[in-house]
């Protein structure tokens, strides 16, 4: 005897409902995944920046409490943060990679050529800005190392631009006491800034306003 077979399948409406549910779930999952990836990337960057801070502290121990200023260990004028950080290699740090952040406009990659000063931290190999003029006796909440800015001490919302590494929402800051923080930015639009500890409405990177005339924000070499 032939047995009839009942073929079951989704109706068009059922398929549309399933697709809609998947779309709704994805709309929640994708932003959460992106946030998790960004947080992990920022945590890694902060860890690297703190290594640079600790290397600066070791440098200062050998230089009467001073961080690199005016001239670096190779006798070069310090004009950019690359020039200052070059003093740390290879005596205090043996890798350029801690100076890079994937996706950074200023310093996404490093070639690890550190045999001579001419190849150490060339343009494109350093993400971090440096506040020259800070010492080990400076106030603990003064910034020492920060994400590079747009060149004016401010941050922008568009990733892939100078100052836009974290989309204008947060910045990694290493303070004078070598404590590491992810700081929420203040301001609006492409005028975001790190708020000063004593006045949240003012930019902590306008350093001469409260740190003295010797303080200067040095951006990475371009």
DSSP class per residue in 49-76? HHHHHHHHHHHHHTTTTBPSBSB-TTS-
Rounded to two decimals, the pTM is: 0.86
**34 is a domain residue:** yes
**137 is a domain residue:** yes
Which tokens is 24 given?
């709704």
Q: Please count the structural domains in the chain.
A: 1
Q: How confident is the model at residue 166 (pLDDT cuts 50, 70, 90)?
A: very high
**116 is a domain residue:** yes
Find the mean pLDDT for residues 45-64: 96
Q: Domain span at residue 143?
A: 12-218
Share of the chain above pLDDT 70, in %: 92
**87 is a domain residue:** yes
**141 is a domain residue:** yes
Per-residue pLDDT reduced to its tens digit, 27-40: 776 677 667 777 78
pLDDT (0 to 100) of residue 19: 84
**51 is a domain residue:** yes
**189 is a domain residue:** yes
């Amino acid at each position: 005897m032939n047995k009839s077979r009942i073929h079951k399948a989704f109706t068009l409406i059922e398929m549309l409902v399933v697709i809609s549910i998947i779309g709704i779930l994805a709309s929640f999952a994708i932003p959460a995944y992106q946030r998790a990836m960004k947080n992990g990337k920022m945590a890694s960057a902060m860890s690297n920046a703190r290594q640079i801070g600790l290397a600066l502290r070791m440098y200062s121990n050998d230089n009467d409490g001073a961080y690199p200023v005016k001239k670096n260990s190779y006798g070069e004028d310090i004009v950019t943060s690359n020039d200052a950080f070059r003093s740390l290699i290879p005596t205090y740090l043996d890798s350029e990679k801690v100076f890079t952040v994937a996706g950074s406009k200023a310093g996404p990659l490093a070639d690890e050529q550190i045999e001579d000063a001419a190849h150490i931290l060339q343009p494109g190999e350093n993400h971090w800005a440096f506040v020259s003029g800070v010492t080990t006796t400076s106030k603990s909440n003064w910034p020492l190392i920060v994400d590079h800015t747009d060149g004016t001490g401010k941050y922008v919302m568009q990733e892939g631009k100078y100052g836009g590494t974290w989309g204008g929402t947060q910045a990694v800051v290493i303070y004078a006491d070598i404590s590491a923080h992810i700081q929420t930015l203040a301001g609006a639009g492409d005028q975001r800034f790190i708020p000063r500890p004593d006045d949240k409405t003012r930019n902590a990177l306008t350093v001469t306003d409260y740190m003295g005339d010797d303080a200067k924000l040095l951006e990475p070499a371009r």
